[in-house]
Structures are given as C-alpha cells and as structure tokens.
Amino acid sequence: MAAYLLVEILEITDAGKYGQYINAVKSVVEKGEGEYVVRTDRVRPFFGGRAPVRIILIRFKDTESLDACFSSEEYRRIAPLRGMSTRSRAYVIEED
C-alpha cells in the first residue's frame, strides 16, 4: 500500500539554508523512489486556525520505501539544514 509523507513548514527561519535543503532533498527523494504530489506555499486555512507557510506531500510505494529514504545516509547529511532553517512537522500517512 502507498505511503505518504506530509510535511508542514510552520515557519522558515533561515531562507538561505532552507533553499539549500530544498535543492538537495529533491534528488534524495527521487533516488528513494518518492514522487512529489504537491509542494506549495499557496496554503490557506479552511478551518482550525493558522495554515502552515508551506506544504509538501510525497508519495512512496510503501512505508518501507519511505523509511529507507529518510533514514539513508544521504538524507541524514542534509537533514540538519531543515532543522536549522524551519519549524516544521511531518506525518506518515498510510493507505488502507
């Protein structure tokens, strides 16, 4: 079953470092056979309060592929850029 990673960027605290992260992470996701469904900063609240400043949704064929991608050495090298440049949350969503 497909698995998705939903990322909410709540705040960008360092645009330069975040830009470096964005440039590097795309190839890691593609190498891990992930497919970007949406990447946008055009987010508005529908209900429940404030919207994040950016949303990213990535599809993987299964949770094993998702976990392998984001636990890879290549991803671990760039992950600090995201941590230093944003306040964010991420969720794994599995299809039934």
Q: How confident is the model at residue 96 (pLDDT cuts 50, 70, 90)?
A: confident
What is the fold, at CATH topology level, of the domain defined by 3-94? Answer: Alpha-Beta Plaits (3.30.70)
pLDDT tens for 44-56 read: 999 988 999 999 9
What pLDDT was estimated at residue 25? 97
What pLDDT was estimated at residue 24? 97
User: What is the value of pTM for the model shown?
Assistant: 0.93
Nearest to 7 by CA among 69, 64, 72: 69
Residue 65 identity: S
Q: Where are the domains of the chain?
A: 3-94
